[in-house]
Amino acid sequence: MAFSVFGALVVFLIWVAPFWIIATSNQTTGYEKIAWLIAMVCLSWFAWVFYFFLAPLKSRDDYYGYTRR
C-alpha cells in the first residue's frame, strides 16, 4: 500500500514539474508566462485526444493475427 501511494506521489510530482518550472522561471513574465502555461494545458489535452482517436488503429484480432469464430 505504501509503495503505491509513493509511486502515485512520484508520478504526480513528475506531472506537475513542468508547470512549476514555467511558473517560477525568470525567463518569461506576465502574459507570456500565462500563455505558456495555457499552451501546456491545451497541448497535453490535444495529445490525449489524438492518442484516444489514433492509437487503437488496429483491433486486437488484427494485431494478434487471428479472427474470432
Question: What stretches in the chain show pLDDT beneath 50?
Answer: none
Average pLDDT score over the chain? 77
As given in the structure block, the three cell numbers for residue 53 are: 482517436
Q: In the chain, where are the structural domains located? A: 19-69
Position 12 scores a pLDDT of 92
Q: What pLDDT is stored for residue 65 in this prediction? A: 60
Dihedral of the CA atoms 36, 51, 4, 16 (nearest 10)?
A: 0
Q: State the pLDDT at residue 51.
A: 67
pTM for this structure? Answer: 0.57
- Model pLDDT, residue 55: 62
